[in-house]
Amino acid sequence: MEKGELYITTSCVIRDNQITRNGALLWETSPEMELPDFLRAAYDHFSGQYPKFHKMDNLCKLGWLATEVLLQDKPLAGYAPEETGLILTNRSASLDTDLKYYSTVKEFPSPALFVYTLPNIVMGEISIRHGFKGENIFFTTDHFDMELITAYAEQLFSENAVSACICGWIEVMNQQYEVILHLVEKDKQTYN
């Protein structure tokens, strides 16, 4: 996404039970480990200091975890809360949690699950964790649509609506998941 003055300064990818930052493998578990166990183990490994994590659905856990890894060595403290944006996308929106919530409806509808039946809740969780108060938008696409994300991000930067923006793809449906997050900034900085 090196267009105009924008640069991807850090990336985090989570898939196949492996977590990489800027292309380097940071941590992995057996590929057979199921997603909830993988998420719990990754939480213990990378943080272990955020009890709200355990209330989240898998989409939010994935987004929270990827952002944690993305910003671990590069916190965005240099930007005002209002300058930091989020542009996230996926295919299944919150369908993974929708099915879980709906299974509770006949007996006792669960407010704790219902609140996660919107895909943008992951941006709320990330914003609460890191204090981001700027632009946010959630697109659903059938693939990781870098072109759409780039076009929207470029416009946000050109309007001075953001100075830093976390962009990417956070998909989960049952055991299938994939996260690709990029930190996009105006200044080119070398990978850590």
**Residue numbers of the site for another protein (CB under 8 A)?**
81-82, 86, 91-93, 95, 98-99, 101-103, 105, 109-111, 114-115, 117-121, 123-125, 127-128, 130-142, 145, 148, 151-152, 154-156, 158-159, 161, 173
Nearer to another protein among residue 19 and residue 167 (C-beta): 167
Smallest separation (angstroms) from another protein to the CB of 133: 5
β-strands 24-28, 7-15 pairing: unpaired
* Minimum distance of another protein from residue 60's CB (angstroms): 8
Q: Which is nearer to another protein, 43 or 132 (CB)?
A: 132
Q: Going along the chain, which residue ranges are E strands? A: 7-15, 18-21, 24-28, 84-90, 136-140, 164-173, 176-185
Cα 38 to Cα 18: distance, rounded to the nearest angstrom: 9
Which of 20, 127 has the CB closer to another protein? Answer: 127
Task: Indicate the helix (H) or strand (E) that contains 125.
Answer: helix 121-130
CB 78 to another protein: min, Å: 17
Tell me the closest approach of the beta carbon of residue 35 to another protein, in angstroms: 17
Picking from 1, 2, 6, the residue whose alpha carbon sits closest to that of residue 156 is: 6
169 and 144 Cβ atoms separated by less than 8 Å: yes
134 vs 168 by CB, closer to another protein: 134
